[in-house]
């Protein structure tokens, strides 16, 4: 049996190593390993809880805001702070555009090249490409001249021999199925999305002074003043600029991303039966209104059963370290995050090594479980939970997409389903975010400028001991921060992030994590070029920086695929 290693899997954030056993052209078993560590959870101990969001935000530079919102929510939960409606709406807008931008970047820049062969696009007929694009949407750039210009640009790039981001790919692989025109169209949109994403995220600069890592979060609300008469506050000009950028975001998702997604998916329908994996899904729900009611519902599904949505209880979450490079409790029995530990101890082989001992510890990611069950989190989980809960907007879009692809709901339990759900998520949020802006404008026009609740700002008003948790549906799924406060200081802080769930190694019972389970049964045409592994793993949009709350310290390893 061949054991192949992909390390690091390219186009992800952080270092992820996959080892897979292949037999008869299919993956028989797989192991997911995170190969780097930092440990911000420990750095937080003893600090002021009001500062925690600023530190946790640095877990990652990709989902840059998500660890700030989870953190301020955890502290607000612990200290029983209710934030003003305008702060809630501004948070929703910041998180909403973060999700939309992140999903578009994932589709075009981190995932598309698993499905799109750029080199094939060089052979496309620009006139036919324009006709194809025009049949899908009325996007203004659908002209033959435009596609010819893109083709010439990419040809010049290839001729220069400096391929940059396009260098490490399996061009010409038989698993690429798109006709040249579809490849050229997607390549053009890859380049357009680069420009688009830097523009729409200016909303973070307006509401948070910068991106990545907006600066205006605050326990109790936000620190951005609202004053229609001041140039230094959130005023009418700035609100109109946000409106314009939200429209730009929505237009691109509706007229480029979704049509491309449907066009690409229609050539890869066999992937609706590959990569399903665990079949257990969990979403924490997101986008609270002024009363804290969530727009996307929270819930969990087990064994692909859409008829029963389980209520999520954070008390049922525990992390195991049986196969993770940590010591202490959490072995054999999971630790609830309030009592979680981060005692790192690397016991793996010294690099360079051929294989990890996957019977022992083999990752810096812990294994979170819900009632001892491995769960998949992410846009697919979010959309399935919303769909199964009868969420009106989600149901309408999901049924539309399934209808256009001519497949039923079970097709969603797959690699293709994961990729489609991310687009559906982006569309739903892109259409909803302008409504939160309108609500905010409505509040301001009625004279409500409240943005921060400072009743508990002074630590002398706090109880001696308090604990709380903060949930957020990050682009990659269910994110939770747990905090224990003692004598006004952080006593313990634990984060269980989306990629921790999905990238987790085996637990005490030997149950696979979501990536591992999804790979089992995946066909691999050429073990030397395991494009199919990239497709399924990238469909989760892995972020290992988040998963172990780390940063790459050496950053000098290139793709290594080994067959033994
Ligand atoms: Ni670094 Fe993150 C998101 C979080 S994934 S990207 O979305 O939390 O683990
Ligand atoms: Mg953690």
Q: Tell me the CA–centroid distance for residue 537 and ligand 1, in Å.
A: 15
443 Cα distance to chain centroid: 31
| Peptide bond before residue 179 is cis, with ω within 30 degrees of 0 | no
Neighbours of 347 (CB within 10 A): 11
The ligand whose atoms approach the alpha carbon of 38 most closely is: 2
**Contact (Cβ atoms closer than 8 angstroms) between residue 442 and residue 306:** no
Neighbours of 556 (CB within 10 A): 6
**Contact (Cβ atoms closer than 8 angstroms) between residue 549 and residue 503:** no
Three-class SS of 197-215: HHHHCHHHHHHHCCCCCCC
**Contact (Cβ atoms closer than 8 angstroms) between residue 514 and residue 376:** yes
Token digits for 233?
A: 């506050």
For residue 252, the surrounding DSSP H or E stretch is: helix 236-252
Structural domain boundaries of the chain?
Answer: 2-557
DSSP state of 83: P
Of residues 486, 543, 475, 377, the one with CA closest to residue 70: 475
- Residues around ligand 2, an ion, CB closer than 5 A: 495
Token digits for 45?
A: 């101990």
pLDDT of residue 465: 98
CATH number of 2-557: 1.10.645.10
pLDDT of residue 558: 32
Could you say which of 512, 516, 546, 549 is catalytic?
546
pLDDT along the chain (564 residues), means of 10: 86 86 95 87 95 94 91 98 98 98 97 94 97 96 97 91 80 94 97 98 97 96 95 96 98 98 96 98 96 96 98 98 93 96 93 92 97 98 98 98 94 98 98 98 97 97 98 98 98 97 98 98 92 96 80 36 43
| CA gap 445, 145 in Å, rounded | 46
Does 241 participate in catalysis according to the annotation? no
| CA gap 191, 141 in Å, rounded | 12
pLDDT of residue 137: 96
276 Cα distance to chain centroid: 18
User: What is the reported pTM?
Assistant: 0.95
Rounded (10°) angle between helices 180-200 and 258-266:
150
| CA gap 202, 97 in Å, rounded | 10
Q: Tell me the CA–centroid distance for residue 422 and ligand 1, in Å.
A: 14
Does 254 participate in catalysis according to the annotation? no
User: Helices (DSSP H) in 310-411: which residue ranges?
Assistant: 379-388, 392-405
| CA gap 151, 154 in Å, rounded | 5
Does 15 participate in catalysis according to the annotation? no
For residue 495, the surrounding DSSP H or E stretch is: strand 489-496
Q: Which atom of ligand 1 is nearest to the CA of 547?
A: 9
| CA gap 254, 241 in Å, rounded | 20
Outline where DSSP puts E strands in 209-361.
Answer: 217-218, 221-222, 281-283, 286-288, 294-296, 299-301, 317-320, 326-327, 343-344
The dihedral sign for the CA sequence 392, 397, 402, 403: positive
Q: Tell me the CA–centroid distance for residue 34 and ligand 2, in Å.
A: 13
| CA gap 530, 259 in Å, rounded | 27
Token digits for 518?
A: 């999804």
Length of the chain: 564
Does 543 participate in catalysis according to the annotation? yes
Ligand 1 atom 1 nearest Cα: 546
| CA gap 274, 287 in Å, rounded | 31
Best residue for ligand 1 mutational test, from 58, 62, 368 (most atoms within 8 Å of Cβ):
62
506 Cα distance to chain centroid: 22
| CA gap 262, 254 in Å, rounded | 11
Q: Tell me the CA–centroid distance for residue 119 and ligand 1, in Å.
A: 31
SS3 content of the chain, % helix, strand, coil (to 5): 45, 15, 40
Q: Which residues line ligand 1 (CB under 6 A)?
A: 13, 60, 62-63, 66, 474-476, 479, 497-499, 543, 545-547
Helix (H, G, I), strand (E, B) or coil at 562: strand
The ligand whose atoms approach the alpha carbon of 501 most closely is: 1
Best residue for ligand 1 mutational test, from 479, 502, 513, 551 (most atoms within 8 Å of Cβ):
479
Token digits for 563?
A: 């067959």
In the numeric block, the tokens 């399934």 are attached to 402
For residue 434, the surrounding DSSP H or E stretch is: helix 415-445
Q: Which atom of ligand 1 is nearest to the CA of 70?
A: 8
Could you say which of 476, 481, 535, 538 is catalytic?
476
Concatenated DSSP letters of 334-384: -B-GGG---EE---SPPSS-S---TTS--BSS-EEEETTB--B-SHHHHHH
């Amino acid at each position: 049996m061949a054991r192949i290693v992909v390390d690091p899997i390219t186009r992800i954030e952080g270092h992820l190593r996959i080892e897979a056993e292949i037999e008869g052209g299919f993956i028989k078993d797989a192991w997911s390993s995170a190969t780097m560590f930092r440990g911000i959870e420990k750095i937080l101990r003893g600090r002021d809880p009001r500062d925690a969001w600023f530190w946790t935000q640095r877990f990652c530079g990709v989902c840059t805001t998500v660890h700030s919102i989870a953190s301020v929510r955890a502290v607000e939960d612990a200290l029983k702070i209710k934030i003003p409606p305008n702060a809630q709406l501004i948070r929703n807008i910041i998180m909403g555009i973060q999700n939309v931008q992140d999903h578009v970047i994932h589709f075009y820049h981190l995932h598309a090249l698993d499905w799109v062969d750029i080199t094939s696009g060089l052979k496309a007929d620009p006139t036919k490409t324009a006709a194809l694009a025009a049949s899908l949407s009325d996007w203004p750039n659908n002209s033959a001249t435009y596609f010819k210009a893109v083709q010439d640009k990419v040809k010049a790039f290839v001729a220069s021999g400096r391929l940059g981001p396009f260098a490490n790919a399996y061009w010409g692989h038989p698993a690429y199925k798109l006709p040249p025109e579809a490849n050229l169209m997607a390549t053009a949109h890859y380049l357009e999305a680069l420009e688009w994403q830097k523009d729409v995220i200016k909303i973070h600069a307006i509401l948070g002074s910068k991106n990545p890592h907006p600066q205006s979060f605050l326990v109790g609300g936000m620190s951005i003043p609202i004053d229609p008469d001041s140039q230094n506050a959130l005023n009418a000009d700035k609100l109109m600029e946000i409106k314009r950028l939200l429209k730009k975001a929505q237009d691109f998702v509706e007229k480029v991303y979704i049509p491309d997604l449907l066009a690409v998916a229609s050539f890869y329908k066999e992937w609706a039966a590959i990569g399903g994996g665990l079949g257990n899904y969990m979403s924490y729900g997101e986008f609270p209104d002024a009363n804290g009611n969530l727009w996307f519902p929270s819930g969990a599904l087990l064994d692909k059963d859409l008829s029963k949505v389980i209520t999520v209880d954070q008390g049922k979450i525990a992390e195991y370290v049986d196969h993770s490079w940590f010591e202490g409790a959490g072995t054999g029995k999971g630790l609830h995050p309030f009592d979680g530990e981060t005692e790192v101890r690397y016991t793996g082989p010294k690099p360079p090594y051929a294989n990890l001992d996957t019977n022992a510890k083999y990752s810096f990611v812990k294994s979170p479980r819900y009632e001892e069950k491995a769960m998949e989190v992410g846009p697919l989980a979010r959309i399935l939970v919303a769909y199964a809960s009868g969420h009106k907007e989600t149901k309408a879009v999901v049924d539309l997409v399934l209808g256009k692809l001519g497949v039923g709901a079970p097709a969603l339990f797959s690699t293709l389903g994961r990729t489609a759900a991310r687009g559906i998520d982006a569309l739903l949020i892109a259409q909803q975010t302008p409504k939160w802006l309108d609500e905010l404008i409505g509040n301001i026009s009625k004279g409500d400028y409240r943005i921060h609740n400072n009743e508990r700002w002074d630590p002398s008003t706090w109880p001696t001991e308090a604990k709380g948790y903060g949930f957020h549906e990050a682009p990659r799924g269910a994110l939770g921060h747990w905090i224990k406060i003692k004598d006004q200081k952080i006593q313990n802080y634990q984060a269980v992030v989306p990629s921790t769930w999905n990238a987790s190694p085996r637990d005490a019972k030997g149950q696979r994590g979501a990536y591992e389970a999804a790979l089992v049964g995946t066909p691999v045409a050429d073990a030397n070029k395991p494009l199919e592994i990239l497709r399924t793993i990238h469909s989760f949009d892995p972020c290992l920086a988040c998963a172990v709350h780390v940063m790459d310290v050496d950053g000098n390893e290139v793709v290594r695929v080994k067959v033994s």
